[in-house]
Amino acid sequence: MEFTGIHHLTAVSGNIRENYRFYTQVMGMRLVKRSVNQDDVSAYHLFYADAVGSPGTDLTFFDWPVPPEKRGTHSIIRTCLRVNGQAALDWWVGHLADAGVQTQGIAEHDGRLTLEFEDTEGQRLALVDDGGAGDTPVPWDRGPVPPEYQVRGLGPIVMSVPELRMTDMVLTGVCNMRQVRRYPDPENPRNTVHVYQMGQGGPHAELHVAVQPEKPVVQPGAGGVHHVAFRTPDEEQYHAWARRLNELGVRNSGEVDRYYFRSLYFREPNGILFEIATDGPGFAVDENAETLGESVVLPPFLEPRRASIVAALKPID
């Protein structure tokens, strides 16, 4: 039993209107679900992805007007988005410059060409050449990015811990990941980044763990990451993961039905929140595929409160 890759990553925005502009108009991703945080209905939960919201392409945001994150360890520190080939990265260098986004220039990290930058709130991102690995996304033909250069999905995800031993025990002993290699930390070459692989491997199925003992503890906020979710293909394996966590004594949320997928949450020893999420049912379960993300949709258990929930949301278009 293994995860098949990254399912989605959820971060925090303190300016959701600018967030919507950046990820649709600059990054060229499609808003595939305009909903609310199911545990805090005062906040939007926006999902950006490929044209249909394929698992593994979702970058999502909670709309929380909080101060900016104070960076540190015990956190996810960079979200990588995959593109295919040197030509794609070259195109993005020019595109981001035209949008006023400063980049670090194309560099090789862990043997892959990488372009690091930040969004308007300091969310640390990178475009990584995946060489065409992983599932083929569905291009978004109404966005500003040509199909051949579009974001293909998530991965790798980079997290920071001050000490590896207990985290390694959870990643390998609980999550069945494999530590496959290591490389010098680009921020501080004296430190090491350890690469953990899921399923068949590839950048879409990797978690990179930077050991950074000199860093302060993160203070969460806008521009930071809330959690990362790993893919499990179906409900049978999802239930098996729930049993596994319980049998191993790992504190967890219990099974949670998010309507678009099934979720299971737990924290690794440094407090970073992990989620296990099913590939289905998917975002078209309550919307026509042609109009995904165009209006606020709510899971059935929130529909009776629609009027009050929608009235409290600010416009983002």
Q: What is the CATH number for 162?
A: 3.10.180.10
Tokens of 107: 């560099």
- Per-residue pLDDT of 268-308, as tens digits, reads 999 999 999 999 999 999 999 999 999 999 999 999 999 99
What does the mean pLDDT of the chain come to? 97
Q: Which amino acid is at 97?
A: A
Q: Is residue 297 part of a domain?
A: yes
Query: Cβ(194)–Cβ(182) under 8 Å?
Result: yes
Cα 300 from chain centre: 25
Where does the pLDDT of residue 317 fall: very low under 50, low under 70, confident under 90, or very high at 90 and above? confident
Q: What is the pLDDT of residues 220-255, one digit of tens each?
A: 999 999 999 999 999 999 999 999 999 999 999 999
Tell me what pLDDT residue 12 has: 98
Tokens representing 305 are 């409160």
Say if 1 falls within a structural domain.
no
| Total number of domains constituting the chain | 1
Whole-angstrom distance, CA of residue 146 vs CA of residue 84: 12
Inside any domain, residue 316:
no
Question: Structural domain of residue 64, as residue ranges?
Answer: 6-311
Rg (CA), the chain: 18
Residue 317 forms part of a structural domain: no
Above pLDDT 70, what percent of the chain?
100
